[in-house]
Amino acid sequence: MKSDRLLSILLLLQTRGRVPAHELAERLEVSVRTIYRDVEALSASGVPVYAERGRHGGIELLAGFRTDVTGLTADESRALFILAAEGTHAALGLDEALGSALRKVMAALPEPHRPAAELTSRRILVDASRWMWGPGPVVDLETLQDAVFADRRLRLRYRHGGDAEPKTYTVDPYGLVSKAGVWYLVADRRGEPRLFRADRVRSATLTDVPVRRRPGVDLADAWAALKRQVEERPGGIVVTARVRRTRFDQFLRINGNTLVEQPDDDGTSEWITVHLEFGHPGSTKMLLPFTDHVEVLSPPEIRAELARGAAAVTALYGPPEESGSGGNG
């Protein structure tokens, strides 16, 4: 729309200063002639804009001219107020800054868009945590943030899952990623991408050595590569199980990410057959809390693994042994 294009020109000039007409034309995907017509329209509406032709010419606003127009549409205004869970900003120490920024944006919004933005903030809530996951451990991200923004190497004391003692690593950080409520440090170690859970970092120390990242690789690139490694990790164990229909919705909320294909469901049977993939046999124990509402059908070694787990639980909660009674008569 022409009105959107005029506003885009105004905001570009306000941000960039003098801009060649051909550059505006390329950015807005119109002809140079259209740009000059738009400039005339802006000038006619009272905007102090002028064009200078020639090799060093361009289109520019009169020095000192500013507009408070944000350029946001109604949908863009609403989008700004649909934000991730508060914990994300709190972990970074940005809760107060976020609130202040949103108040400033609200004050700068065109008057017709303010009610929609206010209503959105009251009607839409994004909670990034998973169901029944419980509160995560408190994570101190301050040193990790310092290293990320200072572009310095970082020395970590890090405990891997299953290890009793932490190990020491020197890494080149790319940045921090929050995924499903869990913070990760994305970094290179000896030139290879690595992923470190922030809640397993026992200590972090900035070094005086500048960070050494792989040329042409940024945080998004490194995260995408690591994410593929996790999601495409070979050697998964495919398990076929059946789930009682009465517990199926709850089962999907907790184990839906392990499904490898659509469940076999005729819509009427008591049981629904599912095919799941786990990284290792021990991780299948997450099915035990469903007791007799989930039965593993194959492979046999996983049935045996769960049977051992169930037996261990039974032994733990079984009746106490009766002590021998003595007497004198």
Of 10, 4, 24, the C-alpha closest to 61 is 10
Tell me: pLDDT of 132 over 60: no
> Would you list the DSSP string of 113-166?
GHHHHHHHHHH-----SPTT--PPPP---HHHHHHHHHTEEEEEEE--TT-SS-
pLDDT 10s digits, 237-290: 889 999 999 999 999 888 887 888 888 788 889 999 999 988 778 888 889 999
pLDDT 10s digits, 88-122: 676 677 767 777 777 767 766 666 767 777 777 77
∠ CA 75-81-83, rounded to 5°: 120
Given this model, what pLDDT does residue 295 score?
A: 94
pLDDT 10s digits, 170-200: 999 999 998 877 889 999 999 999 999 888 8
Torsion (CA) 7, 11, 13, 15 in degrees, nearest 10: 180
SS3 170: strand
The residues with which 158 forms a beta bridge, in sequence order, are 167, 201
